[in-house]
Structures are given as C-alpha cells and as structure tokens.
Amino acid sequence: MKLHLFARDGLTARAEELGIDAVVVDLERRGKSRRQAGADTHITAHTLADLEQIRRTTPVPIVCRIDAIGSETELQVKHVVAAGADQILVPMVRTVAEVQHVVDVVAGEATVAVMIETVEAVGLVGAFATLPVERFYVGLNDLWIDRAGRNRFRPFVDGTLDTILATAGSRPVGVAGLTHPALGEPLPCHHLVNELVRLGCDYTFLRRSFYDALDHYPAAEVVSAIRAAVRAARDRSAADRQRDHARAREAILALPAEAAAP
C-alpha cells in the first residue's frame, strides 16, 4: 500500500529515506474554514513557496491539492505545475465538467487525481473513471459533513466505499489516514488497516494522526509498523478477514455521533 505524506518541516526532506511514495502539499483554502467550522478537522497552511522548496529538496513525487473549482482554478493550476507538482488533487467536485476542466487546463503537464467527498461525487465515480484521471481519494471528513452523517467512518460499513471501489475501474483508490497500529483515535488504527486491505485500497495518507504518533515513536518506526500491519492484514485467511470486518463494523457503529458543521 502506497503512503502519501502531508508535508511538514523537518520530515519532508526524509521522505525518500523513509520509503514514502508521495508528498502532499495542501493549498486548499477557499471555503474550507467555513465548511468545516465546528468539525474536528485540520486545515494545513502550505503555500506555493512551500511547494517550490519541497520540489528542490526531494525527488519523491509531489501531489498538490488545489482549491475547489472556481474562477481562479486555471491560474492556480498553472502556478502549481510550474512550481513542480507531479499530480493535481482536485477537491469538492460535484460534476464531471469540473474534473474535465482541470484535465483540460493541466494538458498533460501533470496527472490529475479527484477527491470523492461530496454526495454528487460518490455517484459519479464511474463517469470520472472515463476521463484521464490517475486516482481517487475518498475524503471522509468532508463527505461526512456533506451528508450530515452520524460519524465520518460510516462509509466503511454502509456500502459507500465498496461501491466506490467497484465503480472506479482500474483507478487506484485511497481513503483515510494511518498512524502507528498501536494508536488511533477515535477508531483504533488496526481497524483502518484491516478495512483498507479488505476493500483493496491502493494508498492512504499520513497526516495528523501520523504526526501525533511521532511524540511516541521515531518516524521510521511508525512507517515500518504501518507496512508490517498491512502485510499481516493481507496474509489473513478469508475467515479472519470476515471476523475482523465484523469487529471493525461493531467499533464504527459504537462511535458516538459527531456534530458536523452547520
């Protein structure tokens, strides 16, 4: 399973050494603070200058999340590509036309990935897969807010992720974020590892919970533990996978309701 690390000072330059598959620079700002107000989420403060600096310090592929589609999308995409991004990650899409617009602007100078984090996007994965899109990432936080759902992990147990994986065709699909398997709040990380493997997800993010783990473990140890947990999950018997899915389902359904942004 590929690991995409959200950039942070002091660790990004070690991405290749740690075996990280991609570094994520997050430039999404427009409307995000208002959309996620009151929700337990984290908004990254990256800049275009950060992207340029990271490009100079690591050979690892760089994924750049841009703003939601708007009047400045074309200019932002051109700046991001010029700064060295290898892939453009497009958030909060609701139509095929929005994805096509980014594909047209990029014009082959980078690849395009799409975040599935709105009600409309969940139903359009098959249509997105007919476009020259490299991969999908399911954004649990914004999907939870958009649906006004009970908690952000429900897509693991209500069939949403199974449907997305089934309609994505050959496109890689990522979801969630991992940390040391001994940690994880409110859902223990070992449940997430087992579910990602059960679903056949191709990659995941290393973000807030990963960085929290660095208060307890060296970065290399956390990455190694995650990869070992993924290998162990893949080696399980069919009966063990079924048992672990039932346990993850029970844990997710037992989580208290979360208050999404109004």
3-state secondary structure labels for all residues of 105-133: HHCCCCEEEEEECCHHHHHHHHHHCCCCC
Query: Mean pLDDT across the chain, nearest whole number?
Result: 93
Residue 132: how many other CB atoms lie within 10 Å = 11
pTM (two decimals): 0.91
Which residue, 137, 129, 121, is CA-closest to 196? 137
Low-confidence ranges of the chain (pLDDT < 50): 33, 35-41, 260-262
User: CA-CA distance, 230 to 224, in Å (whole number)?
Assistant: 10
Angle between helices 189-199 and 238-253 (to 10 degrees): 130
Q: Where are the domains of the chain?
A: 2-180+200-212
* Three-state SS at 74: helix
Give the span between the Cα atoms of 60 and 178, in whole angstroms: 19
Q: pLDDT of 15-38, one tens digit each?
A: 999 999 999 999 998 655 454 434
Task: Give me the pLDDT at residue 148, please.
Answer: 87
Reported as a single tens digit per residue, the pLDDT across 145-177 is: 999 878 899 999 999 999 999 999 999 999 999
pLDDT value of residue 146? 93
> Which CATH code for domain 2-180+200-212?
3.20.20.60
